[in-house]
Structure 1
Amino acid sequence: MSTSSAPSASSTSPTKTPKSSRIPKVPFWAQILAGLALGVLLGWVAKSNDLGWLTSTLQHIGDLFVQLLKLAVAPLVFFAILVSITNLRQVNNAARLATRTLLWFMATSLIAVAIGLAIGLLTHPGAGTGLTPKDGKLPEHAGSWIDFLTGIVPTDVITPFTELNVLQIVFMAAVAGIAALQLGEKAEPVLRLSRSVLELLQKALWWVIRLAPIGTVGLIGNAIATYGWNLIGKYATFTVDIYVGCALVLFGVYPLLLATVAKANPLQFFRGAWPAIQLAFVSRSSVGTMPVTQQVTQRLGVPREYASFAVPFGSTTKMDGCASIYPAIAAIFIAQIFDVHLAVGDYILIAFVSVIGSAATAGLTGATVMLTLTLSTLGLPLEGVGLLMAIDPILDMMRTATNVAGQSVCTLLVAAREGILDRDAYNSAQSISLNAAAAADAEEKVSVPAAA
């Protein structure tokens, strides 16, 4: 009969865990909130005490962050669109996927512009502001349908990159991508180089994205220090209208579509997509947020091959905030300031411009081109754009967050309808920090073959 041996000293003595000396990491969302709070505080201090040096410092910090984002925009858009188009050959029914993606982009834009028009008609944002036509000024660059249509095709291959004409860059990338599909294996060396350059650009952009909390301090602080709360008060109804309209789409329309069309839990969407939405709110750039948007969309169960097409495509053309809600309410606001009556036909034109012309926003900060395109179509004074330039940075944060959320939602809707959505991945998706998203993105690129 065997007897059990006495427990060893190692099994009885408690294991001492060494205390970690590392400083705990602050979640990215907390960093963003801290940046917002610090920016408001510093902006208020600069405005209250007339500290020109502090205002200038905040402006330089914000401008540098936006400049770093814009630095990567031109090559990032070109190679992302080129690679995304060629990735469609890895997907079954690619033409149908592309068509349905475009149709969902247009359908949700139509819903968004209808909400914007309804809010504008109910609240009369231009009434009682104290603003007059003389307060407006002509924009430096105005958009028109002729400029929009003729401006798609560049005169050379260099100028679109130096002048950051994203619409022309998208056109060249689409042509190059379609040509590469037609060439097949002959284009593979160029495609391998394009994938490598794209990964390099995305890695560099991840570094810029991590600076977002610092950029937030500068952007918000400069807005408060330069314009102050008094100016915001003049635009109170208009500002609230934009935020309410975007919130209705972001937290009302999108969840409803996910629940009814995709048969998916909307809370899971926000849990998984929140890193992209919060970064869009701060950076005010759909293109700058694109790597994060693509990463969270894939984590929500969309196949990489389809997400790598739909997200870059949406980042340059899908703008529910900037191209639908904003121009609809802004047109009503400007018409009331200039005492111009809008008829039913004018509201139909606003909807048409919003659905068809959204590519004019080009995924960059601001929506001035889209607004001037809308105003010129309606025959409204372009000086009205000058009335809205001061308040634009405050509005653009919510607009861009809505843009990015819409890009992910439409991608999920198409994937669900086509039966290619990984529902297990969707239901288990958790919110992650930017550091974790960057690490996951790097791991996927190592594990995925170059041709994928």
Structure 2
Amino acid sequence: MTGFVLFNVAIMLIFILVLFIMQRKHISFTKRVFTGLGIGVIYGFILQYFTEPDSEALLTTVDWFNLVGSGYVKFLQMIVMPLVFISILSAFTKLKLTNNIGKISSLILAILIGTTAVAAAVGITATFAFDLEAVQIEQGEAENVRGVELEEKYGTTVEGKTMPQQILELIPANPFLDLTGARPTSTISVVIFAAFLGFAYLGVRRKQPEQAELFAKIVEAFYSIIMRVVTLILRLTPYGILAIMTKTVATSNLDAIVKLGKFVVASYAALLVMFLIHLILLAIGGLSPMKYLKKAFPVLVFAFTSRTSAGALPMNIKTQKQMGVSDGIANFSGSFGLSIGQNGCAGIYPAMLAIMVAPTVGIDPFTPSFIATVIVVVAISSFGVAGVGGGATFAALLVLSALNLPVALAGLLISVEPLIDMGRTALNVSGSMTSGVLTSRITGDLDKEKYNSEAEALEADII
């Protein structure tokens, strides 16, 4: 390890110590998160200024930073599958929720899929407004390599599979394998398996109430333990965001971002419009968008910096509860939102990519029939998209293959992929939380007094 690397690591340790002292002084969780974010951005730019993004010294430095940043994300991913599984089961064991289980799940799914279709339309509009085409993007060595990788992945995942066959991939033939997250569709498969157990519980509750009561107590006991683990992990959030943001800024290829600036601007314009649509939907439901913004902001910041919807699930569920959403609905919307109807990764991005790639094979992308086809395919393909890094790529593969478009061209955007993925992930989480809040509002289950309270999200649970 060189002196330069040691110096960088020592500086990071000092920043971590600062955050630790803030925690010991009981400074609010939100302030510590934003302190870590701010320091990470500034430190990242300093490293960017003094080193090259691909220099050995910076890569070694980042490798050490990953012990904190990537380690934190791995802890979150560690708890995701158990949390999804026990959250769905817990939702079924709550009497208030199970009386309306069909209506609630249908509403959540309808909002998730409906907003994804709207997101696809927004992405198409942005592509048209900014006049984006794949042929405008230069192909370098990295882009060509990425294209080859995508073709190989395409060959092992979706090539030659019809839409019914792809739907069959969602069904858990081996739920224990899916609990390990081994497949791109593992999350939705775990949801399906947990739902089957939940419906079985409802049947047992009618015929054997004593056994059902015992099962419900066991589920709630496990749920309490899992949520305690979640709280312990979330306390590491300021440190994780500090390291993640430092790495992201320090290793960003500014030249590539400038070259693809038009696509980056178009992407964020579409993401912003879709986020505003979320706020409009809340306003139509008679809820204050500003209250939502204040309470959702910490989890959206985490999703933005970490680029993992799955990792944000614990904060997602806790934040919904702070907004007055019941445990059951928060568990359902948070878990469903990991694999269904991700507005950013499975909505805007695949739609923009399809419109950009279509002219390369002689298709006019702005004919009404093609646009309608893209929106429908995007909505259907939004089932089973993994809520971790790479989910948007998998969604793009599904959409491009369904439209018979070349998937290798998706590799053209590799240089700006991390930058765009930050905004996409934040939008995914916002869509999930919006579906939970709106479902609670429609069913009359929302605690409006709690929604309108001034309490900061998560502060009651995380010190």
TM-score tier (shorter): 0.7 to 0.9
Aligned partners of 1:66 and 1:293: how far apart in 2? 15
Match of 2:172 among 147, 154, 159: 154
Q: Say if 2:359 is the partner of 1:359.
A: no
Aligned partners of 2:197 and 2:402: how far apart in 1? 32
Corresponding pairs, count: 417
C-alpha deviations, 1:369-389, integer Å up to 9, x for none?
111101101111121232334
CA deviation after TM superposition for structure 1 residue 324, in Å: 0.7
C-alpha deviations, 1:82-131, integer Å up to 9, x for none?
22233365454332222222222222222211111100112133353323
Structure 1 residues 348 and 438 mapped into 2: Cα distance closer, same or farther (>3 Å)?
Answer: same
Structure 1 residues 264 and 405 mapped into 2: Cα distance closer, same or farther (>3 Å)?
Answer: same
Instruction: Pick which of 52-61 and 76-85 moved more.
Output: 52-61
Q: Say if 2:132 is the partner of 1:111.
A: no
Aligned partners of 2:388 and 2:94: how far apart in 1? 24
Q: Say if 2:77 is the partner of 1:63.
A: no
Structure 1 residues 338 and 196 mapped into 2: Cα distance closer, same or farther (>3 Å)?
Answer: farther
Structure 1 residues 298 and 237 mapped into 2: Cα distance closer, same or farther (>3 Å)?
Answer: same
Match of 1:219 among 233, 236, 244: 244
Structure 1 residues 141 and 80 mapped into 2: Cα distance closer, same or farther (>3 Å)?
Answer: farther
Partner of 1:31: 36
Partner of 2:334: 311
- Contact 1:55 1:222 survives alignment (8 Å): yes
Structure 1 residues 316 and 86 mapped into 2: Cα distance closer, same or farther (>3 Å)?
Answer: farther
Taking only the aligned residue pairs, the percentage that are identical comes to 27
Structure 1 residues 24 and 88 mapped into 2: Cα distance closer, same or farther (>3 Å)?
Answer: closer
Aligned partners of 2:270 and 2:95: how far apart in 1? 34
Aligned partners of 2:361 and 2:139: how far apart in 1? 10
Aligned partners of 1:148 and 1:131: how far apart in 2? 31
Aligned partners of 2:398 and 2:177: how far apart in 1? 22
Partner of 2:349: 326
TM-score scaled by structure 1? 0.82
Instruction: Kindly provide the amino acid, as one letter, of the partner of residue 63 in structure 1.
Output: S
Instruction: Pick which of 185-194 and 114-123 moved more.
Output: 185-194
Instruction: Pick which of 364-373 and 145-154 moved more.
Output: 145-154
Partner of 2:13: none
Aligned partners of 1:302 and 1:429: how far apart in 2? 16
Aligned partners of 2:189 and 2:98: how far apart in 1? 26
Partner of 1:449: none
CA deviation after TM superposition for structure 1 residue 316, in Å: 3.4
Partner of 1:131: 139
Aligned partners of 2:251 and 2:358: how far apart in 1? 27
Partner of 2:323: 300
Q: Secondary structure at the match of 1:428?
A: coil
CA deviation after TM superposition for structure 1 residue 179, in Å: 1.4
Partner of 1:141: 153
TM-score scaled by structure 2? 0.80
Structure 2 unpaired stretches of 5+ = 1-23
CA RMSD of aligned residues (A): 2.9
Partner of 1:18: none
- Contact 1:293 1:408 survives alignment (8 Å): yes
CA deviation after TM superposition for structure 1 residue 157, in Å: 3.2
- Contact 2:253 2:415 survives alignment (8 Å): no
- Contact 2:144 2:411 survives alignment (8 Å): no
Aligned partners of 1:193 and 1:286: how far apart in 2? 28
Q: Say if 2:423 is the partner of 1:398.
A: yes
Structure 1 residues 306 and 65 mapped into 2: Cα distance closer, same or farther (>3 Å)?
Answer: closer
- Contact 2:264 2:420 survives alignment (8 Å): yes
Aligned partners of 2:396 and 2:121: how far apart in 1? 16
Match of 2:204 among 172, 177, 183: 183
Higher Rg of the two aligned structures: 1
- Contact 1:34 1:213 survives alignment (8 Å): no
CA deviation after TM superposition for structure 1 residue 146, in Å: 5.1
Aligned partners of 1:46 and 1:70: how far apart in 2? 31
Q: Secondary structure at the match of 1:363?
A: coil
CA deviation after TM superposition for structure 1 residue 48, in Å: 6.1
